[in-house]
Amino acid sequence: VPVGAYMVIHLLTNASVLDSPAAFQRNVYAIHALGAILPVIEWGFIFLPLLFHGLFGVLIVRGSLPNSSVYKYRSNVCYTLQRATGMIALVFILWHVFHMHGWFHADAWMQRVAQPLGGGMFRPYNASSTAAEAMQMSSVVPILYAIGVLACVFHLANGLWTFGITWGIWVTPQAQRWASYASVVFGIALGVVGLGALGGFTFGIRGPQAIEAVRAMEDKMYKARVEIGEIAPNEHKRTGTTGHHEESQQAAAPAGGAAH
């Protein structure tokens, strides 16, 4: 449940780029305004439940056999697809976290491993522009994201239907049928949201000039929020990260050094 709730919020937040890059940036600022509590929330309600769910899912898949080729019923097909999409989702999420965040934020790791391999591309304080760059780094990337997002959406929607049966929430055939309809509608709606967000970063902010224009807007938002004390200066959350931060330190050093 925590993982599914996070995915819905995550896709809805990303889809706010369809409103405007500024709207998406404001939503990212709202998330990072949690400050020191954010890592606790991420690990307690996202990463640890996700790791548990992923490892538990691998164990289930290892002990199960697909039967859709023998029993061609909808439930049997969904049984097979649930496990297949679970494996796709697991691989996709691991790659997605590396692609956007690099897995680890240590400077040495980011400089020597993540960034040379095309990882760690997202910067929260340049959210739309860096997400657009990440999506447009290769024509294959949006395709992989579309496959991954749809796999996650199906896994969640069908998983909710299965969850309701397993825990006795919808017991009768009629209740299960209506729950099935609801899960289909939910899955389609969430899929549209996810693909819409993907399209916003891939086509809505298209090309270097559009990305630079958005980045200029993001930098203005950043400076304004720093000036009024709404956020603390943090170059690691901006475009350029480590290299940019070190250059800033070197430039400031002759004037008496720089605080890290």
Q: Which whole number is the average pLDDT over 240-255? A: 39
| Distance, CA of 97 to CA of 105 (rounded, Å) | 12
Domain of 14? 2-64+124-242
Is 184 part of a structural domain of the chain? Answer: yes
Task: Check residues 24 and 232 and name the one with the higher pLDDT.
Answer: 24
Q: Which whole number is the average pLDDT over 88-114? A: 92
At 247 the pLDDT is 36
**DSSP letter assigned to residue 206:** -
- Given a contact cutoff of 8 angstroms between Cβ atoms, the answer to whether 194 and 150 are in contact is yes
Cβ neighbours for 52, distance < 8 A, ≥ 6 positions apart? none
Is 11 part of a structural domain of the chain? Answer: yes
Is 203 part of a structural domain of the chain? Answer: yes
| Phi-psi group of 207: left, alpha or beta (phi > 0 → left; psi -120 to 50 → alpha; rest → beta) | left
Task: Check residues 26 and 2 and name the one with the higher pLDDT.
Answer: 26
Least Cα distance to 30 among 53, 12, 4 occurs for: 12
Is 139 part of a structural domain of the chain? Answer: yes
- Given a contact cutoff of 8 angstroms between Cβ atoms, the answer to whether 121 and 134 are in contact is yes
At 243 the pLDDT is 39
Q: Which whole number is the average pLDDT over 202-209? A: 96
At 260 the pLDDT is 42
Is 181 part of a structural domain of the chain? Answer: yes
Is 7 part of a structural domain of the chain? Answer: yes
Domain count, the chain: 1
Is 118 part of a structural domain of the chain? Answer: no
Chain-wide mean pLDDT for the chain? 86
